[in-house]
Amino acid sequence: MYQRMQNELDKRGIAFLSLNMDKSIEAARETIQKMGLTFPTYRGDLPSIARNYQITGVPATIILDKTGRIRFIGYRVEEDSLLAELANLRK
């Protein structure tokens, strides 16, 4: 879902990135390949990412505005909900 949305929304200046918390680089690469992601993926450790982005579970979807301010955090977000949140940012 995210890769397809990135392909569609890139034209509108919306960029996706992924934070991967697999235990090893090899496991992270496998996940990225399995999901078919081509947008940037960063690795980090769960405690610091959770603390910095106020995440209370995974997988999490976070929307930041142009200034880097968190505008939305959701868990197991459906595509329609994500598109609605993105539309709210454009208002």
pLDDT tens by residue, 18-53: 878 778 889 889 988 998 888 888 887 777 877 887
pLDDT tens by residue, 48-77: 877 887 788 777 787 877 788 888 888 888
For the stretch 19-25, contacts whose Cβ atoms lie closer than 8 Å and that sit 24 or more positions apart, written own/partner, are: 19/43, 19/44, 19/49, 20/44, 21/45, 21/46, 21/49, 21/58
Q: Where are the beta strands (DSSP E) in the chain?
A: 18-20, 41-43, 60-64, 70-75
Q: What is the pTM of this model?
A: 0.65
